[in-house]
Chains A and B, each alone.
Chain A
C-alpha cells in the first residue's frame, strides 16, 4: 500500500514536470562567492509596457549549466579570457604597442562593456565594443583589424566583459544614439523569413515556454559573449542574431553589419539594469 502511494506520488511529479511551463528558475547567481549578479530586475522605462521584469538567460538554463557559470575555474569561457589577457599584454602592429601600453591593467576597463554599443562622436556612429577595439588596433597600434565575432575579437570582448561583471548594463538610447536605437527596435519587431517570425514573437510573446526541446529566454544579451556547450567556444551576440534569423529561414545580415549594430544596441537596452555576465555559459 505504502509502495503504491509512493508510486502514485512519483507519477504526479512526472505529470507536473511534463505540463509545467519552463518558467525561469528561482535562483540567485553569486560569482566566485563574492560578486552578486543581478539576474532579474524591473524592466527599463522604454520596455515597461511589454515587461514588468527582465530576466537574464541564466535563469532559463539547467542546474549544471548555472553552477558552471558561478565559478571562474569551472567556467570554460574563462579559458578564452585568459588567452585575451595574453593578447592584451602583447605588442602588435607597426607602432609596437599593446592594449596595455595605453590602458594599463585590464581592470581599468571595468564598466566599459556595460555602456556599449555607444555613440562615438568623432566617428559619428554607434559603435560596438569590437568596433572600438579594432579602431584602437588599426589607428593606434598599426595592426590589422580582427574579424568580427571571430576568435581574437570575441575573446577580447569577453575579457573586457569579465572585468565589468556585476555592474549594471547601462547603454544610452537617447541623444545621438536614438535614431540607431529606433532602427534596432524596428528590426526587433520585423518578421523575417519563411516562418515570418520576429525576435519578439519568441522572446517577448513566448519566453518561459518551450521551443522544441529548449527553453525560450527573453533573449537578453547581458551574458554575451557566451560560452556555448554545443560548440565549446565563445559566441558573439551578432552571431546569435544571425543564427536566430537563419532559423526563421531568412537571408541574414552579417556580423558587424550596421543592422546588427543597431539591433545590438536595442537588445542591450532591453537589458538595462541586469548585470554584465559575460562570459556566461549557455547550451
Chain B
C-alpha cells in the first residue's frame, strides 16, 4: 500500500430535495507516473490511483478512470442532485490493489 494515503471529502450536511450540491474530494497520493527515474537511473514503477467512483444510495453518480498524467493528490469537484436523504459512498482504487473508502450521510431539510 502506498504510504500517506488519506481520503478527504466535503459534502454539505443537508440539502433541499432535488437540489444540486457541490461535492469536493481530495486524496493524498504520490501518483507516481512510471515515467520518472531515481538517482541511479532506474525507472520508478508506476503507482497511481486508477479509478474513482462516487455512489449515492447504491446509484452511481460519477465513475472516473484515471491515467498517469494526473498529478499528485488528485482533487475532484462535481455536482450531484440529492433526491432523498441517504449516503454518499466514495471509493478510490489503487494500482497495488488497495481500495480506499469514505462515506458521508446527507439529510433533507
**Which residues of A are in contact with B by a Cβ distance under 8 Å?**
73-74, 76, 79, 82-83, 232
Binds A, one of B32-40, B45-53, B70-78: B70-78
Residues of B within 8 A of A73 (CB): 8, 10, 24, 26
Can you give 18 contacting A-B residue pairs, CB < 8 Å? A73-B8, A73-B10, A73-B24, A73-B26, A74-B24, A74-B75, A76-B26, A76-B73, A76-B75, A79-B6, A79-B26, A79-B28, A79-B73, A82-B6, A83-B4, A232-B71, A232-B72, A232-B73
Bound-complex Cα distance A79 to B24 (A): 15
Bound-complex Cα distance A76 to B71 (A): 12
When C-beta atoms are compared, the residue in chain A nearest to B26 turns out to be: A73
How many chain-B residues does the 8 Å CB contact rule pick out?
11
Residues of A within 8 A of B73 (CB): 76, 79, 232
In the complex, which residues 1-57 of chain B have their Cβ closer than 8 Å to any Cβ of chain A?
4, 6, 8, 10, 24, 26, 28
Bound-complex Cα distance A74 to B76 (A): 10
Main secondary structure of the interface of A (DSSP, over half): loop
Residues of A within 8 A of B28 (CB): 79
Main secondary structure of the interface of B (DSSP, over half): strand
Cβ of B35 to closest chain A Cβ, rounded Å = 16
Cβ of B28 to closest chain A Cβ, rounded Å = 5
Cβ of B48 to closest chain A Cβ, rounded Å = 14
Cβ of B72 to closest chain A Cβ, rounded Å = 5
When C-beta atoms are compared, the residue in chain B nearest to A82 turns out to be: B6
Cβ of A230 to closest chain B Cβ, rounded Å = 11
Cβ of A34 to closest chain B Cβ, rounded Å = 15
Residues of B within 8 A of A232 (CB): 71-73
Not counting A83-B4, A232-B73, a sample of 4 additional A-B residue pairs whose C-beta atoms are within 8 angstroms of each other reads A73-B10, A76-B73, A79-B26, A79-B28
Bound-complex Cα distance A232 to B32 (A): 13
Bound-complex Cα distance A239 to B61 (A): 43
Bound-complex Cα distance A19 to B42 (A): 46
Cβ of B75 to closest chain A Cβ, rounded Å = 7
Residues of B within 8 A of A76 (CB): 26, 73, 75
When C-beta atoms are compared, the residue in chain B nearest to A86 turns out to be: B6
Residues of A within 8 A of B75 (CB): 74, 76
When C-beta atoms are compared, the residue in chain A nearest to B77 turns out to be: A74
Bound-complex Cα distance A232 to B10 (A): 21
Cβ of B34 to closest chain A Cβ, rounded Å = 17
In the complex, which residues 67-109 of chain B have their Cβ closer than 8 Å to any Cβ of chain A?
71-73, 75
When C-beta atoms are compared, the residue in chain B nearest to A232 turns out to be: B72
Residues of B within 8 A of A83 (CB): 4
Bound-complex Cα distance A73 to B28 (A): 12
Bound-complex Cα distance A82 to B71 (A): 20
Residues of A within 8 A of B4 (CB): 83
Residues of A within 8 A of B71 (CB): 232
